[in-house]
Structure 1
Amino acid sequence: MLLRFLKSNQAYHFVLIPLIIVALWIRSWLHPAVFPFFEGENQMLLYRPVHQLLSGSAMANAVAAMLFAMLLAFLILRLNTVFAFIRVRTFLPSNIFVLIISGLLLAHTLHPVYFGALFLLLATERIFSAYESQQIHSNAFDAGFLISVGSLFYFSLIFYFPVIWIGLLLIRKTPEWRHFALALTGALLPWLFAFSYYFLTDSLPELATTVNQNLVTPNNLLQQGSFNHLIYLGFLILLILPGSFFLIGQIDEKKISTRKYFQIFFVIFLTSVALLLVVPAVSLEILLIMAIPLTFLISNYLIYMRRQFWGNVLIYLFLGLIIYLQFA
């Protein structure tokens, strides 16, 4: 059965995952396109040279997005392998992540949110590592630093900084004030260098304009989405709701560390929803970051559900919907 195949712990997945991406992104190979950026969205300090390098080729953008998708899938695998909050050796989280973003057609070309997701994953790993560490000074600083660097690619990532403080409160019984100060220091440092660069190049107004555009520019991608987008989002909700109730029902059976990890994922998900609702410039691209906590929620549901028949049905529906979206 397909679910059993996807959740196995065999080395062939290292080859299978790239093949799945190539196969399910066929529309991007046939009709490559550059993301429809609003003004300023591609002009953050660290993303601008990437955009200038790749903007001349839609196919290069598609290849870069595919490589990022592979990297994120394997980082998600590593996160579960290291911290084992899903107490099974499985490739399912990586495969579920690939399926989720394969249905997000706008994610099939490079966007700053890919860098945001990468740095958020790295920061999350540093927060999780603080659970069993005696000294977490470097964890706090590194997490703040990573979020800040990521925001110089994808500005809205800076709004995930409170996840670090909340994560430290959840992970440590008695966090020290210096841990919060170190996280803040780490977050301020990249922006201090960015401010210095704009100051020395006499372009501070450009920085102010770019930040403002990434905050208040109305981004109507969600409103302009097709009916097919709504069907896909509805299917994801169909997976999220039972997955959430299932996790709540088994939460008392899980290790304390696992509960804390899932609580941090929940904070990341809530932050993403809040940004989608409150920040005008944030739109469908944020679903790529939402896919990180949703990946583990859905994987936990599919692995531990009693009747695997229904799990297979959901996977087949998921795959069929993705294929339909490629050609609709």
Structure 2
Amino acid sequence: MLNKFRGVTPDVVILIVVISILIWIGAFLEPHPPSSLDFENRSMPLFSLLLSITGFNALVSVIAAFFLVLLTAFLLVNFNTSVFFIGARTFLPALIFVLFTGLFPEQQMMNPVLPASIFLILALRRIIDAYKAQGTAYSLYDAGFLLSVGSLFYANFIWFGILLIAGIALLRTGNLREIVISLLGLATPWFLVFGFYYVLGKDLNGLNELIRYNLSGKESGFALSRVTIAVLIIDTIILLISTANLITVINKKKIRSRKTFVLLIWAFLIAIGTVIFVRSVSVEIFWLAAVPASYFISHYFVFAGRRRIIPEVYFLILFLGIALTQVLHHIQ
């Protein structure tokens, strides 16, 4: 089974799309509006705009979220194809990410973290583009800009701005100009939003309060079922095994690949750190954590799986765990 998904043939793409539909079919049949998890309440400007485009319709929102998942899956594969840091062309990152989206059935709706995950991948790519760039790496400005735009969907995404500093430390020589332009990129979308509010005579104090509420005032909370907790523990163990395997071989990789994986580790640690230390962050952060996690597990399945039967078992467990979570959630 795992051997099939390691391939890059068109039928693998079709299989991933079919699996995606099966994982989301429960959400299509029983769509929930973003308001059911308080995502509509005092949402950030761009997410409010996105909700208005979907007409606040539950089914339309779920369908739009599904297509954003497919777009994220495509970008995951495209990132590896362009940088080639895993060391093999594979659709596994897309499949693993799609599977992760079924881990929390209650979250299968339009939410602000989903579009932010797209901007995370785009920003990571622009940070990596700074590697060995001649002169000033202006791609760092682009990365900051993309991260900032993502925070206009999901305010706590701004913490991923730490990736800019990590990227400069990993890929560059600590040029002060590059630090400044990356921070300018981070600030530009916010200047534009505040300028837009000012020109149109909108309530700037209300915008400040909205930002404060989303960053620190919003109380997070989410109850997990026993099945979800069990599957989450199993998936975490698989992730830890995959990460440990990556760490043992990371120094054997080419410099650019090694630095890409280190940056992904930073992204994962930031996601974990925010859920621990920022009270307004809850289980929705898994959309962002799933991006680096998909690469770690894919790397393990691509290479370790060629030598052992155990990765095949892990892959099957990952599959069955998500299926069980979905089935039990929708029959209860």
- TM interval, shorter chain, is over 0.9
Checking the alignment, whether the CA contact within 8 Å between 2:127 and 2:143 is kept in structure 1 is yes
Deviation string, structure 1 residues 16-71 (Cα, Å, up to 9, x no partner): 32221101112112211123343775521111121123253211111111101100
Letter matched to residue 27 of structure 1: G
Equivalent in the alignment of 1:81? 81
Equivalent in the alignment of 2:281? 282
Equivalent in the alignment of 2:221? 220
Superposed, which structure 2 residues align to 1:28-47 within 5 Å?
28-35=27-34, 36-38=36-38, 43-47=43-47
1:5 aligns with 2:10: no
Equivalent in the alignment of 1:148? 148
CA RMSD of aligned residues (A): 1.6
Checking the alignment, whether the CA contact within 8 Å between 2:102 and 2:108 is kept in structure 1 is yes
- Change over 3 Å in CA distance of 1:212–1:264 after alignment to 2: same
- Change over 3 Å in CA distance of 1:202–1:94 after alignment to 2: closer
- Change over 3 Å in CA distance of 1:144–1:22 after alignment to 2: same
Checking the alignment, whether the CA contact within 8 Å between 2:42 and 2:210 is kept in structure 1 is no
1:56 aligns with 2:61: no
Q: Secondary structure at the match of 1:144?
A: helix
Distance 1:10 1:39 in 2: 38
Letter matched to residue 278 of structure 2: V
1:134 aligns with 2:134: yes
Q: Secondary structure at the match of 1:149?
A: helix
Checking the alignment, whether the CA contact within 8 Å between 1:41 and 1:214 is kept in structure 2 is no
Equivalent in the alignment of 1:293? 292
Checking the alignment, whether the CA contact within 8 Å between 1:65 and 1:107 is kept in structure 2 is no
Equivalent in the alignment of 2:72? 72
Q: Secondary structure at the match of 1:46?
A: helix
TM-score by length of 2: 0.93
Distance 2:89 2:296 in 1: 16
Tell me by how many angstroms 1:104 deviates.
2.6
Checking the alignment, whether the CA contact within 8 Å between 1:302 and 1:308 is kept in structure 2 is no
- Change over 3 Å in CA distance of 1:60–1:42 after alignment to 2: farther
Tell me by how many angstroms 1:137 deviates.
3.1
Checking the alignment, whether the CA contact within 8 Å between 1:40 and 1:210 is kept in structure 2 is no
Distance 1:135 1:89 in 2: 31
1:239 aligns with 2:238: yes
Checking the alignment, whether the CA contact within 8 Å between 2:39 and 2:112 is kept in structure 1 is no
Q: Secondary structure at the match of 1:288?
A: helix
- Change over 3 Å in CA distance of 1:179–1:33 after alignment to 2: same
Deviation string, structure 1 residues 278-310 (Cα, Å, up to 9, x no partner): 111111110010001101111111111154422
Distance 1:206 1:108 in 2: 30
1:162 aligns with 2:155: no
Deviation string, structure 1 residues 113-149 (Cα, Å, up to 9, x no partner): 0111111111100011111322443211101111111
Corresponding pairs, count: 324
Tell me by how many angstroms 1:84 deviates.
0.8
Q: Which moved more, 1:41-50 or 1:105-114?
A: 41-50
Distance 1:39 1:313 in 2: 37
Distance 1:292 1:214 in 2: 22
Distance 1:225 1:208 in 2: 32
Distance 1:134 1:310 in 2: 44
- Change over 3 Å in CA distance of 1:326–1:55 after alignment to 2: farther
Tell me by how many angstroms 1:267 deviates.
0.7
Q: Which runs of 5+ in 2 are unaligned?
A: none
Distance 2:39 2:75 in 1: 31
Checking the alignment, whether the CA contact within 8 Å between 1:114 and 1:288 is kept in structure 2 is yes
1:27 aligns with 2:26: yes
Checking the alignment, whether the CA contact within 8 Å between 1:39 and 1:213 is kept in structure 2 is no
Equivalent in the alignment of 1:313? 313
Letter matched to residue 212 of structure 2: N
Q: Secondary structure at the match of 2:261?
A: helix
Deviation string, structure 1 residues 211-262 (Cα, Å, up to 9, x no partner): 12212211101xx222122112202211122112211211221112111111
Distance 2:135 2:15 in 1: 39
TM-score by length of 1: 0.94
Q: Which moved more, 1:263-272 or 1:92-101?
A: 92-101
Equivalent in the alignment of 1:259? 258
